[in-house]
């Protein structure tokens, strides 16, 4: 992986562990020569991860819609800042430019971005690894819900396995590097009809 898209909160969260982990992820990406692609803001964990990559000499591309450039406060020190018209364009560019996706803790925006990447993978529109950093057990409830979806027959086991998870950044990157996407089967099979 040469470029990774990171989705994360535009807030800092209630515990310092979230900023610490965002900064550690940024440092790790820079040290491994992996470019960061992210939402372009300087607020919340988004700003923290970008600042850390830059501090350790890495490259950062931000993608921000014009209408958010005031609200989310565009980061003015990035290697490259791409301003776009819509949220859809933002996500499409972030997706196109990356070799993998990581979600740190975040709110609705982060969840929406994460699930869009998962649903695109489920539809075989891409085969990039998708990982969540389950620091401080932040994603425990979501992982339980996903298990429940599978148990109740709303999520195929091979699609459940697409979501990689670890509470440790190095381990998460190892899982992502080793990821093999499920065979190119259609999302709806004859068994479903
Ligand atoms: P949040 O996790 O809610 O703090 O938001 C993190 C990022 O997701 C921010 O850059 C938001 O602009 C972005 N975001 C919020 N809502 C959406 C959405 N519907 N689609 C795509 N991105 C979003």
| Distance from C-alpha of 104 to C-alpha of 113, rounded to nearest angstrom | 11
pLDDT for 69:
83
Q: How many CB atoms lie within 10 A of CB 83?
A: 15
pLDDT for 193:
54
Handedness of CA 39, 43, 44, 45 (dihedral sign): positive
Å from CA of 178 to ligand 1 middle? 28
Helix (H) or strand (E) holding 144: helix 140-151
Task: Give pTM, 2 decimals.
Answer: 0.94
Ligand 1 mutation target, pool 7, 10, 41, most atoms within 8 A of CB? 10
- CATH of 3-179 given 3.40.50.450, 3.40.50.2300, 3.40.50.150, 3.30.499.10: 3.40.50.450
| Ligand 1, atom 10: closest residue by C-alpha | 39
pLDDT for 169:
98
Residues (pLDDT < 50) of the chain are: none
The three-class DSSP label of residue 47 is helix
pLDDT for 191:
61
pLDDT for 188:
63
């Amino acid at each position: 992986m040469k470029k990774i898209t990171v989705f994360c909160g535009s807030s800092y969260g209630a515990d310092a562990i979230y900023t610490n982990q965002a900064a550690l992820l940024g440092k790790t990406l820079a040290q491994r020569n992996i470019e960061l692609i992210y939402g372009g803001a300087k607020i919340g964990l988004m700003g923290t991860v970008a600042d850390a990559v830059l501090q350790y000499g890495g490259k950062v591309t931000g993608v921000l819609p014009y209408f958010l450039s005031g609200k989310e406060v565009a980061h003015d020190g990035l290697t490259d800042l791409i301003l776009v018209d819509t949220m859809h364009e933002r996500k499409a560019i972030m997706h196109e430019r990356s070799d993998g996706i990581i979600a740190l803790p975040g709110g609705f925006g982060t969840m929406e971005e994460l699930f869009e990447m998962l649903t695109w993978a489920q539809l075989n529109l891409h085969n990039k690894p998708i990982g969540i950093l389950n620091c401080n057990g932040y994603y425990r409830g979501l992982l339980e819900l996903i298990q429940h979806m599978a148990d109740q027959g709303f999520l195929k086991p091979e699609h459940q396995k697409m979501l990689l998870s670890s509470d440790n950044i190095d381990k998460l990157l190892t899982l992502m590097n080793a990821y093999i996407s499920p065979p190119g089967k259609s999302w709806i099979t004859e068994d479903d009809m």
